[in-house]
Amino acid sequence: MLFQPAIIALLLASAVSVLLLLAATPYAWQLVHRWDIASGSELQLRLERRTYLMSTLLSFVFATQLVALLLFVFNADKMAVMFVGAMCAVGTLNANAYGFPALLAQIAVFFMAAVWLVLNHADSRAYDYPLVRVKYRLLMGILPFVVLAFTLQLMYFLNLKADIITSCCGSLFSSDAQTLVADASALPPQQGLWLFYTALLTVIAVAVLHARKLRAAYVVAAASAAAFVAALTGILSFVSLYVYEHPHHHCPFCLLKPEYDYQGYWLYLPLFAATAAGLSVGVIQPFARVPSLAAVVPQMSRRLAWIAALGFAFFAAVATFMVADSNLILLKD
Amino acid sequence: MKTWIAKQKALIDFTLSSLARRKLKNLGLLLVYTIIVFLLASVMLYTHALRHEAAQVLKSSPEVIVQRLVAGRHDLIPPGYLEKLGRIRGVQSKEGRLWGYFYDNVVSANYTLMAPSSASHDFGQVADGKIVIGAAVARERGLAPGNLISFRSYTGKLFIFTVAAVLPHEAELVSADLLLLSETDFRSFFDIPAGYYNDIALSVANPQEVRNIAGKISETLPDARIILREEVLRTYESIFNWREGIVLVLLSGSILAFAIFAWEKASGLSAEEKREIGILKAIGWETGDVLKMKFWEGALVSLAAFLLGYVAAYLHVFHFSAALFEPVLKGWSVLYPRFELVPVVDGFQIATLFFFTVFPYTVATIVPIWRAAITDPDAVMRG
């Protein structure tokens, strides 16, 4: 089922990203191994010039990956009409074995891309390109994931078959194939609630602490990752129930649908932004010791910590509002 | 933050005036860019509107249709089938339908003839000897209410009807070639004995029950073909998406050509432009600043082309009925309905379009822009 505009667009974006990254890899290799800022040789001059191209190119590719994640989820949601039993993205992604792995790979690429962009920004703030080696090593580390995401996407879309009418007998050949992963895997609401608020309050507290005192950077990163998982678990186990006002509807994607006023975007956009910022706090921390970054890193990590704290706080507030605003009574004291 | 915004504003300002200095070259690029966006956006808007229309039309169609198959071909429903179906839980109503196709030599077109059931129409039951006609039929045969029209039926007998009414233009997408007549007239016109029907329509209130009901019907009537509305909808969705995809793939040649064109434009810097960049760098601009300026240049051109192209496509599709793509995307028929599409725009579509146009443009221009940005001031000025 390749001939769908959004699928073509997604595959185009992924394929071009992979190609650009592959083309950049030999140069990245050269940069990692031959870079010597103290040298005035012609090679070094060429390399310095090339870093401009590389960082522009990579910023572009990674920015594309951020948008592609959104488009991927949106597309999965839109395609639900074409599959028997699929009401939203869950059904579409379950249509074959590659759907959810493709989504997870795309999410992983999203966070790596975000972290890389932050590093790149830090590097461009210093005068002597202190992070060139780190950046391009990291790039070579990210490349396999981008390739993996592309492959999974390709496999997913190639193996999709829309259930359309067959001429012999309409309904009987298209079997109902929905499996409700979400329903089975959701935590009981009470535990979900605990986990959700504990993780979020922790990460907000740690991020604020870091923003004010510049301490515990790695804890911020770890807490952000944990809060991300806890937040998704919380959405599955109780937030979605309150939004749908239905005790058994755990879907994390239906939130994005117009029927629910696109409420999901208020949750997911701050959540992803905050998590990316939180992770970046930890990633740039080791470079605070680099002399030319000594002033830059604390300033940036302060800012990132604020973004993380505010993002998580906003997310928690939105989720709390959704629960408070709902007519569903799930837990009785 | 404030200084950052001020810097970007100054850069945009500079970029705009630099674009204005090379009007012809940039207008050429803008034109081609706009045309590309226009073509792709037309295809997308048009298929999207068709899809929307199909979904709207199908909203009021019955949830389940039961046909009978004999030797794999569609056959009449014999008497007793309606009773055999009996009461199925969840089915709100069921009725036998009478409809058929008739080829009219005069206009070389097929009509759809139907005997409406009592409640299903605004016109109610059509009286014997009367006929209600679709707008396209009225147009082709030059008919107005009160006129007489005659058809020679497949049995060879001549039938004369009085036109009672013309169906409203708004419903033309579904009723362009429709003729409505009374059940008695219909049966004698096609020589269908009493008690026989073309198919059975069931209406079901709960969408989740539809599949169970279909299963039950296929147990009671093993020779039945059961068509569900959701399946028709799904098929339409697939077909329109597929057509849209095919057209986009065909147009991908032009996207590629456009990317090459953009590459050429961006790499073929004139001596004057080179000198400009050289001077900028000599007075203290960094490579990064030149890149930023070029980025704004690309963003401004893209934005302008995107807006212009999209608005033009909107006008093309919703005011000029997509004259360019109609034959491919809509399908064709002698009595094709004339209809105006309801404008539908959604963000998803715009995002997809963005990937098809701005993305290739940006990819194509990154390397040439970088080449321009690393120009050495002394090399330019000496040359």
Q: What is the pLDDT of residues B13-69, one digit of tens each?
A: 988 888 888 888 889 889 999 999 998 898 888 888 888 877 777 877 888 888 888
How far separated are the first and last CA of chain B, in Å rounded? 40
B 142-161 residues with CB < 8 A to A: none
Buried b (16+ CB within 10 A) or exposed e, A277-295: bbbbbbbbbebbebeebee
Q: Which residues of B touch A162 (CB under 8 A)?
A: 234, 237-238
pLDDT of residue A172: 40
Q: Is the confidence at residue A180, as pLDDT, over 90? A: no
Distance CA B332, CA B347 (A): 30
Q: Please, which pLDDT band fits residue A150 given cuts at 50, 70 and 90?
A: very high
**Helix A42-78 to helix A99-125 angle, to the nearest 10 degrees?**
140
pLDDT of residue B35: 92
In terms of pLDDT, which residue wins out, A264 or A278?
A: A278
- Taking an 8 Å cut-off on Cβ atoms, the answer to whether A12 and B359 are in contact is yes
Is B242 at the interface with chain A, CB within 8 A? yes
Contacts of B212 (CB under 8 A, 6+ apart): B90
CB pairs under 8 A between A and B: 121
pLDDT of residue A147: 94
Token pair listed for B247: 């057209």
Closest by Cβ to B234, choosing from A3, A75, A162: A162
* Most confident of the ranges A281-285, A310-314, B95-99, B333-337: A310-314
Q: Is the confidence at residue A89, as pLDDT, over 50? A: yes
Contacts of A108 (CB under 8 A, 6+ apart): A145, A149
What DSSP string runs through B119-162?
A: SS-TT-SPPTTEEEE-HHHHHHHT--TT-EEEEE-TTS-EEEEE
Sorted by where each starts, the structural domains of chain B and their CATH numbers stand as 2-58+235-382 (no CATH), 77-197 (2.40.40)
- Percent of chain A past pLDDT 90, that is, above it, reads 26
pLDDT in tens, B303-323: 999 999 999 999 888 888 777
How much is the average pLDDT of A292-317? 90
- Taking an 8 Å cut-off on Cβ atoms, the answer to whether A9 and B231 are in contact is no
Is A331 at the interface with chain B, CB within 8 A? no
How much is the average pLDDT of A227-234? 89
In terms of pLDDT, which residue wins out, B232 or A162?
A: B232
DSSP 8-state code for residue A172 = G
Q: Is the confidence at residue A202, as pLDDT, over 90? A: yes
Give mean pLDDT in consecutive 10-residue pieces for chain B, a chain of 383 residues: 86 88 86 92 85 79 86 86 79 85 84 76 73 86 87 86 84 78 89 88 82 83 84 81 82 87 82 82 86 88 93 87 70 63 79 88 87 79 68
- Taking an 8 Å cut-off on Cβ atoms, the answer to whether B352 and A9 are in contact is yes
Is B288 at the interface with chain A, CB within 8 A? yes
CA distance B225 to chain A (A): 5
Number of residues that make up chain B:
383
How far separated are the first and last CA of chain A, in Å rounded? 51
pLDDT of residue A32: 87
A 20-59 residues with CB < 8 A to B: 20, 49, 52-53, 56-57
SS (H, E, C) chain A: CCCCHHHHHHHHHHHHHHHHHHHHHHHHHHHHHHCCCCCCCHHHHHHHHHHHHHHHHHHHHHHHHHHHHHHHHHHHHHHHHHCCCCCCHHHHHCCCCCHHHHHHHHHHHHHHHHHHHHHHHHHHHCCCCCCHHHHHHHHHHHHHHHHHHHHHHHHHHHCCCCCCCCCCCCHHHCCCCCCCHHHHHCCCHHHHHHHHHHHHHHHHHHHHHHHHHCCCHHHHHHHHHHHHHHHHHHHHHHHHHHHHCCCCCCCCCHHHCHHHCCHHHHHHHHHHHHHHHHHHHHHHHHHHHCHHHCCHHHHHHHHHHHHHHHHHHHHHHHHHHHHHHCCCCCCCC
What average pLDDT is seen over chain A?
83
Is B44 at the interface with chain A, CB within 8 A? yes
